[in-house]
Each structure stands twice: as C-alpha cells, then as structure tokens.
C-alpha cells in the first residue's frame, strides 16, 4: 500500500491504514468543503489560464 510504503496521505475520511507517525488527535488536516472552495475556483482557473496561456 502506498500509504504504508510511501507515507501518502489519503483523502479518505476513514483511511484503511493511517500513515506512520500520524496521530489524528495531534495532527489536524484541513479539508475544505465545497461551499468555501467553489467560489474561488472560477477566479483561480481564469487567472491560471491567463498566466499559462491555456485555452486562450
């Protein structure tokens, strides 16, 4: 498993195996909800496309 072997952090609420040295009581992950993320998405995407000349 890549979680065990490489220390990848899964985006699952209940991962099958927590990474080594990771304590959920001490280490808090910030996972945005769609309500706080989606208003920024279109603006960010437009800026990214302009900077990198994508879909111009």
User: In this predicted structure, what is the pLDDT of residue 49?
Assistant: 93
- As a dihedral over the C-alpha atoms of residue 25, residue 31, residue 35, residue 40, rounded to 10 degrees, the angle is 140
Tell me, what's the pLDDT at 48? 93
Q: What pLDDT, on the 0 to 100 scale, is given for residue 17?
A: 73
pLDDT at residue 7, as a whole number: 65
**Per-residue tens of pLDDT for the chain, all 56 residues:** 566 677 677 777 777 777 777 777 887 777 777 788 888 888 999 999 999 998 76
């Amino acid at each position: 498993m890549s979680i065990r072997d490489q220390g990848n952090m899964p985006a699952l609420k209940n991962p099958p195996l927590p990474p080594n040295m990771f304590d959920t009581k001490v280490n808090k992950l910030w996972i945005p909800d769609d309500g706080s993320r989606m208003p920024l998405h279109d603006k960010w995407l437009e800026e990214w496309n302009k900077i990198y000349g994508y879909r111009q």
